């Protein structure tokens, strides 16, 4: 049984977790469903974990990853990359961010707008009451310190999407929460966590372990056990 629908994007849709998933991952409220190669799904999972460890106020807490039906895949230590062409249904489980419930509606009412020079951008031009009210959380003139927050994350090696308003929102406390991460620069992250003045020892240790897992992903091959 599938959980209730939350929001739908181009590549992924997000729904509330089922009772089964909740039993496995008690902290998870949402499941992001997307078809991905296993290596990429795992990499994303680790990237989200790193971002949340370093900036818990700016990212969702990702607590689990389910790959395939019942997670039916196995790993073998070879360098074969052929498996990257196989896509599997994946579910990335996370907590619900402390943003207004209206954000999901606002995201669902967005449309793709074509600008000059073939630039397409997702915008909310909806005039419904909810969107009009929620707009203030995304209004570029009210982007208190938005650039500063983004720059701060980039200094730590975490690059977030800033053009698609469905990917982030402002919390009542005034934090920008990002639901997506574009790219993580492992070298920059490693440098950032090496600063003992700004990053607690335990956090640096956990992040370093996750960076090693991302590195390890380059070496393993993931063979689907139930591959047809
Ligand atoms: Zn929002
Ligand atoms: Zn609307």
**23 Cα–ligand 1 center, Å:** 29
Contact 94, 29 (CB under 8 A): yes
Lowest mean pLDDT among 7-21, 22-36, 164-178: 7-21
- What's the pLDDT at 154? 97
**40 Cα–ligand 2 center, Å:** 33
What's the pLDDT band for 122 if we cut at 50, 70, 90? confident
**131 Cα–ligand 2 center, Å:** 4
- What's the pLDDT at 10? 64
**106 Cα–ligand 1 center, Å:** 7
Q: 36-83 pLDDT, tens per residue?
A: 888 888 999 999 999 999 999 999 999 899 887 654 444 443 444 556
Whole-number Å distance between alpha carbons of 122 and 18: 29
**211 Cα–ligand 2 center, Å:** 40
**78 Cα–ligand 1 center, Å:** 43
Q: Which ligand is nearest to the CA of 104?
A: 1
The single residue listed with the structure tokens 């209730």 is 4
Q: Is the pLDDT of residue 131 over 80?
A: yes
- What's the pLDDT at 74? 45
Q: Of 68, 1, 80, which Cα lies nearest the Cα of 36? A: 68
Per the prediction, the chain carries an average pLDDT of 84
* Token pair recorded at residue 200: 């607690």
Whole-number Å distance between alpha carbons of 25 and 63: 7
Q: What is the mean pLDDT of residues 183-196?
A: 96
Q: Which ligand is nearest to the CA of 105?
A: 2
- What's the pLDDT at 83? 61
**32 Cα–ligand 2 center, Å:** 22
**196 Cα–ligand 2 center, Å:** 46
**6 Cα–ligand 2 center, Å:** 15
Please identify every residue whose CB atom is under 5 Å from ligand 1, which is an ion: 103, 137, 169
Q: Is the pLDDT of residue 9 over 80?
A: no
- What's the pLDDT at 144? 64
Q: Is the pLDDT of residue 181 over 90?
A: yes
DSSP code string of 132-181: HHHGGGT-GGG-TTHHHHHHHHHHTTEE---S-GGGEEE-TTS-EEES--
**57 Cα–ligand 1 center, Å:** 15
**108 Cα–ligand 1 center, Å:** 11
Please identify every residue whose CB atom is under 5 Å from ligand 2, which is an ion: 109, 126, 128, 131
């Amino acid at each position: 049984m599938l959980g209730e629908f939350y929001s739908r994007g181009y590549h992924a849709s997000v729904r509330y977790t089922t009772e089964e998933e909740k039993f496995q991952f008690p902290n998870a409220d949402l499941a992001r469903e997307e078809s991905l190669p296993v290596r990429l799904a795992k990499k994303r999972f680790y990237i989200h974990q790193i971002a949340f460890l370093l900036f818990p106020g700016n990212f969702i807490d990702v607590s689990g990853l389910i790959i395939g039906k019942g997670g039916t895949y196995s790993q073998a230590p070879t360098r074969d990359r052929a498996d990257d062409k196989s896509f599997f249904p994946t579910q990335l489980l996370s907590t619900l961010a402390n943003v207004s419930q209206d954000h999901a509606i606002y995201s669902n009412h967005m449309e793709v707008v074509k600008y000059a020079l073939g630039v397409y951008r997702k915008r909310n031009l909806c005039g419904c009451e909810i969107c009009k009210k929620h707009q203030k959380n995304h209004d570029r003139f009210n982007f208190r310190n938005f650039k500063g927050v983004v720059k701060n994350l980039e200094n730590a090696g975490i690059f977030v999407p800033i053009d698609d308003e469905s990917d982030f929102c402002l919390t009542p406390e005034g934090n920008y929460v990002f639901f997506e991460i574009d790219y993580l620069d492992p070298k920059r992250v490693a440098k950032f966590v090496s600063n003992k003045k700004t990053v607690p020892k335990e956090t640096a240790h956990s992040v370093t372990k996750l960076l090693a897992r991302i590195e390890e992903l380059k070496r393993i091959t993931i063979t689907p056990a139930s591959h047809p």
